[in-house]
Amino acid sequence: MSSTPDAAVLADALSTPRPARSAEVGQAPRTDRGRRTRRRLLDAAAVVFARDGFLDTKITDIAAEAKVSSGTFYNYFETKEAIFTAVIQQTIERLFLAASVPPETDRSPLVRIETATRNYLLAYREHAGLLAILEQVATFNADFREMRREIRQTFRNRTSRGIARMQQQGIVDASLPAQCTAEALTSMVSNFCYVSLVLGEDYDHEEAVRTLTTLWARGIGLDLAGGR
């Protein structure tokens, strides 16, 4: 009576907890109704997160805002983190779109810098609510800190490439380290946005654009003569 095989299987059966959540969750809903509910939850989450912050947001608040039961939430998202990720991702996409500068060659470098700065400020203002929350979450969650870092790097790298290009064209100071310079300038603009739009130090939009543009352009050694 070699019981080992059976017994081993049984011992497993009696105790191994199966993956608690079905594989369904996180998949795209199959019906229109499901898709609508998922969308309602996302919209509700954006509202509640921006209003209450990540920490103070309860799943039930999101569900209530979406007018569904709390159980329904879990049909679509596993955790608060999961829905926050989804919410932030669409925000980021919009942010990138809004903050980009179309490469039109007839613009002068100074105008390009000014346009990039203005677009960034406007885009940040548009999404300040959720970006502030991402900032919050990044302070205690490694995954979101990484996400925040990647967003940051995207902007910094774009800037870095622009500086390198101008250095090759010989129109700005070639001795500046492009990467470090880009980091500093990105810091200047992004943190100015945070301080003014999230913390509430109030500055006139156009004055801010003008000041940041001047500091940026002059800082890297661009010749402003005839410009401003």
Binding site for DNA (CB under 7 A): 20-21, 24, 29-31, 33-34, 37, 56-60, 68-76, 78-80
Largest CA distance in the chain: 98
- Binding of residue 10 to a copy of itself (CB under 8 A): yes
- Binding of residue 25 to a copy of itself (CB under 8 A): no
Residue 225 interaction partner, one of a copy of itself, DNA, none, beta carbon < 5-8 Å per kind: none
| C-alpha span between 169 and 171 (Å, rounded) | 6
**227 is written with which tokens?**
């410009």
Sequence-separated (6 or more) residues with CB below 8 Å from residue 176 = 163, 167, 220, 221
- Binding of residue 95 to a copy of itself (CB under 8 A): no
**220 is written with which tokens?**
């890297």
- Binding of residue 60 to a copy of itself (CB under 8 A): yes
- Binding of residue 46 to a copy of itself (CB under 8 A): no
Member of 121, 123, 151, 163 binding a copy of itself (CB under 8 A): 121
Place of tokens 């919410």: 87
| C-alpha span between 151 and 1 (Å, rounded) | 63
| C-alpha span between 37 and 63 (Å, rounded) | 10
Q: Which stretch binds a copy of itself (CB under 8 A): 33-41, 79-87, 104-112, 134-142?
A: 134-142
Member of 78, 93, 201, 223 binding a copy of itself (CB under 8 A): 201
Q: Which stretch binds a copy of itself (CB under 8 A): 10-18, 35-43, 75-83, 160-168?
A: 10-18
Place of tokens 């919209």: 43
- Distance in Å, CB of 56 to DNA, minimum: 7
